[in-house]
C-alpha cells in the first residue's frame, strides 16, 4: 500500500508539472523569441517548479555556506541523486543560468522546451557531441550566463545512492575561462524522489540543499584540472556523508 501511494504521488507530481507548464506555455513561447530569454524563462521555470512542488507537498530548504555575489558568472556543480536536483538548483541559483543535460530529455514535454530554448543537450556516447556542448557552454559563460553541470554525468543506479567519480570537463572549462565554481550538495532529494520515481515512487517531504562557497580558479592552470575536480568532489562527498 505504501508503494502504491508513492507511485500515485509521482503521477500527481508529474501531471502538476505538465499542467502548470501548459498553463504558461504561450508566454514561454513568446519569451523564447526575446533576446533576454534567459532571464524570463528561468523566472517562469522557477514559478513552475514552485507551484508544482508546493501542490505536491515538496519543499526545498536551501542553505548557503556564505553570501554569493549573483552578479558574477559561475559554473555550478552538484551531485545528482534525483530529478529533483534540477528543480533544487533552479531555486538556489539567483542569476541567469542554463543546464547541460542528456539529449534524451528533448523528448520530455516540459524539459524538452527548456533544452530547445536555453539549455544545452549532449549525447554522452559521442565525443563530438560533448565537444560541441562544452563549446556552447563556453559561449554562454562568456555572455554572462552561468552553467549548471552534474559532473557525475548520470544519476547513480545504487539505492541509496553513492557518489560516482566526477568527469573533469567542467573543471577544465572553469580554469580555461577563469570562472569560479560553486559546489552544491543535494543531501536528500533521493529520499523524496529517486531518479524518475518509477521504481520507488515519490512522497511529500523537504529536500535539503547546501550551496558551498565559490571556489576561485583565476590562479589555476589547466594542469590543475584534476586537482580542482578532486577538491570539488571531496567537498560534496564530505557534506553528502559518503564514506
- Residue 138's pLDDT band, with cuts at 50, 70 and 90, is very high
pLDDT over 90 (residue 2): no
- Residue 196's pLDDT band, with cuts at 50, 70 and 90, is low
Neighbours of 118 (CB within 10 A): 21
Burial of 213 (0-12, 13-18, 19+ CB in 10 A): middle
pLDDT over 90 (residue 155): no
What is the reported pLDDT for 200?
82
Q: What is the residue extent of each domain of the chain?
A: 2-240
* Residue 147, beta-bridge partner list: 75, 98
Q: What angle do CA 129, 81, 71 make, to 5 degrees?
A: 70
What is the reported pLDDT for 193?
94
pLDDT over 50 (residue 114): yes
Neighbours of 219 (CB within 10 A): 8
Give the Cα separation of 238 and 55 in Å (integer): 33
What is the reported pLDDT for 125?
81
What is the reported pLDDT for 242?
52
Q: Are 60 and 91 in contact, with CB atoms under 8 Å apart?
A: yes
- Residue 3's pLDDT band, with cuts at 50, 70 and 90, is confident
Mean pLDDT across the chain: 94
- Residue 243's pLDDT band, with cuts at 50, 70 and 90, is very low
- Average pLDDT (112-140) is 93
For residue 66, give every residue at least 6 positions away whose Cβ sits within 8 Å of its Cβ, in sequence order, or none: 213
Q: What is the pLDDT of residues 16-48, one digit of tens each?
A: 999 999 999 999 999 999 888 999 999 999 999
CATH of domain 2-240: 3.40.1130
Give the Cα separation of 34 and 48 in Å (integer): 20
* Residue 164, beta-bridge partner list: none
pLDDT over 80 (residue 83): yes
What is the reported pLDDT for 197?
61
* Range from 39-53, 80-94, 146-160, 171-185 carrying the lowest mean pLDDT: 146-160
For residue 43, give every residue at least 6 positions away whose Cβ sits within 8 Å of its Cβ, in sequence order, or none: none
- Residue 124's pLDDT band, with cuts at 50, 70 and 90, is confident
What is the reported pLDDT for 226?
97
What letter would DSSP give residue 82? B
Amino acid at each position: 500500500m505504501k508503494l502504491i501511494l508513492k507511485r500515485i504521488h509521482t503521477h500527481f507530481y508529474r501531471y502538476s508539472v505538465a499542467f502548470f507548464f501548459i498553463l504558461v506555455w504561450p508566454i514561454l513561447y513568446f519569451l523564447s523569441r526575446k533576446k533576454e530569454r534567459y532571464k524570463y524563462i528561468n523566472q517562469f521555470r522557477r514559478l513552475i517548479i514552485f507551484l508544482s512542488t508546493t501542490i505536491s507537498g515538496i519543499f526545498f530548504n536551501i542553505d548557503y555556506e556564505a553570501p554569493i555575489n549573483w552578479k558574477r558568472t559561475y559554473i555550478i556543480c552538484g551531485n545528482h541523486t534525483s530529478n529533483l536536483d534540477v528543480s533544487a538548483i533552479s531555486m538556489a541559483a539567483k542569476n541567469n543560468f542554463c543546464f547541460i543535460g542528456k539529449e534524451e530529455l528533448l523528448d520530455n514535454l516540459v524539459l524538452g522546451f527548456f533544452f530547445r530554448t536555453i539549455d544545452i543537450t549532449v549525447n554522452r556516447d559521442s565525443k563530438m557531441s560533448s565537444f560541441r556542448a562544452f563549446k556552447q557552454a563556453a559561449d554562454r559563460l562568456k555572455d554572462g550566463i552561468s552553467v549548471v553541470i552534474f559532473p557525475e554525468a548520470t544519476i547513480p543506479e545504487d539505492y541509496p545512492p553513492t557518489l560516482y567519480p566526477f568527469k573533469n570537463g567542467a573543471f577544465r572549462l572553469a580554469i580555461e575561462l577563469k570562472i569560479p565554481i560553486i559546489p552544491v550538495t543535494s543531501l536528500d532529494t533521493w529520499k523524496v524522489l529517486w531518479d524518475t520515481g518509477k521504481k520507488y515512487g515519490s512522497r511529500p517531504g523537504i529536500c535539503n540543499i547546501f550551496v558551498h562557497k565559490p571556489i576561485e580558479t583565476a590562479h589555476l592552470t589547466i594542469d590543475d584540472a584534476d586537482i580542482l575536480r578532486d577538491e570539488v568532489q571531496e567537498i560534496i562527498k564530505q557534506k553528502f556523508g559518503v564514506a
